[in-house]
Amino acid sequence: MRKGVRTTGFLRELRLASNDVDMAEYPFCLPAVTRLAQLDGLPLAPGVTFFVGENGSGKSTLVEALAVAVGMNPEGGSQNYRFTTRSTESVLGDYLVVKWGIDKPRSRFFLRAESYYNVATQTERLGPDQLAVFGGVSPHERSHGESFVDLMRLRFFPNGLYLLDEPEAALSPRGCMTVLALLSDLTAQGCQFVVATHSPILLALPGATIYEIAEDGDIDEVTYDQALPVRLTRDFLAEPDRYLRHLIDGE
């Protein structure tokens, strides 16, 4: 941890208050949520906490619930973004108990790849002051990946709290490397991130905590080399023909 950087996060821990809920109902029936209810709190890193896990393992459900629990719009944006195009968020955010550190974040933003188009539209609607934050250019006039990098460069400030759901969805491998460098710079400037990702490039960020959600819902801290997206990508790239024989030829 560099000089002058907080050693505890704005968010220190998340816990699920499940006393009066039906654990057979969605979202409480998801294995990862059931597991969270059994844990005596899941610590969050002062810098970057990544969540990895297969499609459908519950990463977005958790990150979205965290966004709601800390006062952000479930469809993405900051506290100023109060639009709803289609309300699909689960009720999990109402049951997440967040343990705050001493300091409060200077700014907050929830970036979810799947609804960033709507956030861009809302940015235009909020008018010139909001557009000025984005360098005076509407995110609609930038490519998907460019608009993500602009967002992090121009709208993410020191000492901010940022939740990202699959930022790599819009990014090329080089774009992922740019975002990796931005994550490093911003954490050195006191920012805290919680990121759901499948990107072996982003996961390489030094000093980050990686939680992997297993099929049975277990949420375990893993090293970079143990993380599933890293292992699987490495194995595939080392021997694509072996995978292709299995995947396509059915051998």
Binding site for ligand ATP (CB under 6 A): 26, 30, 53, 55-61
Out of Mg ion, ligand ATP, none, what residue 223 binds, judged by CB under 5 to 8 A for its kind, is none
How far, in Å, CA of 170 to CA of 176, rounded? 9
**Shortest Å, Cβ 165 to Mg ion:** 6
> Which of 118, 197 has the CB closer to ligand ATP?
197
> Which of 205, 213 has the CB closer to ligand ATP?
213
**Shortest Å, Cβ 165 to ligand ATP:** 7
Round the CA-based radius of gyration of the chain to a whole number and report it. Answer: 18
Angle at 115 between CA 34 and CA 30, to 5 degrees: 10
Asked whether the CA dihedral 123, 124, 125, 128 is positive or negative, the reply is positive
- By CB under 5 A, tell whether 199 contacts Mg ion: no
- By CB under 5 A, tell whether 60 contacts Mg ion: yes
**Shortest Å, Cβ 6 to ligand ATP:** 28
Out of ligand ATP, Mg ion, none, what residue 236 binds, judged by CB under 5 to 8 A for its kind, is none
**Shortest Å, Cβ 169 to ligand ATP:** 9
- Choose the binding region for Mg ion from 59-67, 103-111, 179-187, 234-242 (rule: CB under 5 A): 59-67
> Which of 2, 86 has the CB closer to ligand ATP?
86
Within 8 A by CB and 6+ apart from 77, the residues are: 83, 109, 110, 119, 122
How far, in Å, CA of 167 to CA of 243, rounded? 27
Contacts of 208-212 with CB under 8 Å at 24 or more apart are 208/45, 208/47, 208/48, 208/49, 208/50, 209/43, 209/44, 209/45, 209/48, 209/49, 209/50, 210/50, 210/52, 211/42, 211/49, 211/50, 211/51, 211/52, 212/52, 212/53
**Shortest Å, Cβ 59 to Mg ion:** 5
- Choose the binding region for Mg ion from 44-52, 55-63, 116-124, 155-163 (rule: CB under 5 A): 55-63
Beta strands 107-112 and 42-43, pairing class: unpaired
- Choose the binding region for Mg ion from 6-14, 52-60, 102-110, 207-215 (rule: CB under 5 A): 52-60
**Shortest Å, Cβ 76 to ligand ATP:** 14
Pair 64, 87: CB distance under 8 Å: no
Out of Mg ion, ligand ATP, none, what residue 55 binds, judged by CB under 5 to 8 A for its kind, is ligand ATP
Q: Helix, strand, or coil here: 164? A: strand
The enclosing H or E element of 196 equals: strand 192-196
Out of Mg ion, ligand ATP, none, what residue 135 binds, judged by CB under 5 to 8 A for its kind, is none
- By CB under 5 A, tell whether 61 contacts Mg ion: no
**Shortest Å, Cβ 52 to ligand ATP:** 9
Where do contacts with Mg ion occur on this chain (CB under 5 A)? Answer: 60
